[in-house]
């Protein structure tokens, strides 16, 4: 068992997702994913740590791909498929045989073992059935945990259909 935990601690996960079009470059979502993955004993890397905020898309992708190939796996944030850069990163990672999962799928095997620690930073969206970082749920004063029931993506889809 110690050997398995040791191996997981060494596993480097590169977090990808949409960045362009966000005032804060989607940093809260990336940072929440990093924290949740760290609680599950992964070494998470996010692009905000090594890509300057004023980089062009091409510069950002070059730096991102340099880091991606050093990772052991890819964790995708919700909405990643709407990002040209993230779709390219997933395609390259899969071509290289790297495991490419949504953030919640990386966390799921570790939830039972670390339920108390992860419960403070993640939440299950009952609509899409994904366990994702708590910060990807909008705030709600009427909720017991202070967050809406559905994640932002599901709420956005629900609002569009109304």
Answer whether residue 29 shows pLDDT above 50: yes
Q: Helices 84-95 and 57-68, interaxial angle, to 10°?
A: 30
For CA atoms 151, 86, 104, 75, the dihedral sign is negative
pLDDT digits (tens, 9 = 90+) for 67-80: 999 999 999 999 99
* Separation CA 162–CA 154 (nearest Å): 13
Domain boundaries, the chain: 2-107, 122-161
pLDDT at 121: 76
* Separation CA 152–CA 138 (nearest Å): 6
What are the residues facing 147 on neighbouring strands?
Answer: 139
Measured CA to CA in angstroms, residue 122 lies from 55, 74, 117 at distances of: 31, 18, 9
Answer whether residue 154 shows pLDDT above 90: no
Asked which of 71-75, 118-122, 125-129 is least confident by mean pLDDT, the reply is 118-122
Kindly report the pTM of this predicted structure: 0.67
Answer whether residue 161 shows pLDDT above 80: no
pLDDT at 117: 62
More confident residue, 58 or 139: 58
Q: Is 2-107 in CATH node 3.40.50.450?
A: yes
């Amino acid at each position: 068992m110690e050997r398995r935990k040791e191996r997981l601690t060494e596993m480097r996960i590169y977090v990808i997702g949409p960045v362009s079009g966000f005032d804060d470059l989607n940093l809260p979502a990336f940072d929440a994913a990093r924290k949740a993955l760290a609680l599950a004993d992964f070494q998470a890397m996010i692009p905000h740590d090594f890509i300057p905020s004023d980089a062009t898309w091409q510069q950002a992708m070059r730096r991102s791909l340099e880091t991606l190939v050093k990772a052991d796996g890819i964790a995708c944030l919700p909405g990643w498929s709407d990002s040209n850069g993230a779709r390219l990163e997933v395609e390259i990672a899969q071509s290289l045989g790297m495991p490419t999962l949504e953030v919640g799928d990386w966390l799921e095997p570790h939830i039972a073992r670390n339920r108390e620690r992860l419960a403070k930073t993640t939440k299950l969206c009952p609509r899409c059935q994904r366990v994702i970082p708590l910060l990807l749920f909008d705030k709600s004063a009427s909720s017991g945990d202070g967050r809406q029931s559905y994640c932002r993506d599901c709420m956005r889809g629900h609002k569009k259909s109304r």
